[in-house]
Amino acid sequence: MSSDTKGRFVGIIGLGTLAVWLTLSLGAEFYWSLISRHWPVVPVHVTSSAVVTGVSTVGHWWSPEVEYEYRFAGRTYRSSTVRFLMPVFYGEDDARSIESAYPHDGTAKAAYDPDDPSRSVLEPGVPRGMWKRALIPVFFWILTTYLYYEATHPERRALMVQRAES
């Protein structure tokens, strides 16, 4: 095996690791988003509602922070999950619209996990536009598979070099 091929395999392993990480991290959030659509609903009391802000390498961001509590089976639970797959916003108005939907001391409804009532979400389901995120790991899997194929079929590269020379 040539050093070029070894280098390709190191790159493929790194790319494959990234694909696995993306699949697991986004996959779990998509799972909870999808399953939450079927959870029962309980009334909640909003205990705090605000928008936090910060700066990253991408720019200024805003994130709504809503805390709420609810009672189920004689116990009080607290949560701050508005949505699964909740992104930070790069426009203040988007974050403020979520904050205003859940004002401090207001009431709302949350879906809760019947198997673990401490897990709940104010907006169950996959948020609009988040399906595009599912394509990110798919892209990396396709790229990893293609590069693996290219690395394990050196005769294909030799044929392409031969054609280029003629």
Express each pLDDT in 8-27 by its tens digit.
788 888 888 888 888 887 78
- Residue 38 is predicted with a pLDDT of 95
Closest CA to 49 of 113, 154, 122: 122
pTM of the model: 0.70
Predicted confidence (pLDDT) at residue 136 exceeds the cutoff of 80:
yes
Question: By the 8 A CB rule, do 127 and 88 touch?
Answer: no
CA dihedral 58, 61, 67, 73 (to 10 degrees): -40
Residue 132 CB: number of other CB atoms within 10 A?
7
Residue 120 has pLDDT above 90, yes or no: yes
For the chain, domain boundaries: 1-37+126-166, 40-124
Q: 61-73: per-residue pLDDT in tens?
A: 999 999 999 999 9
pLDDT at 129 over 80: no
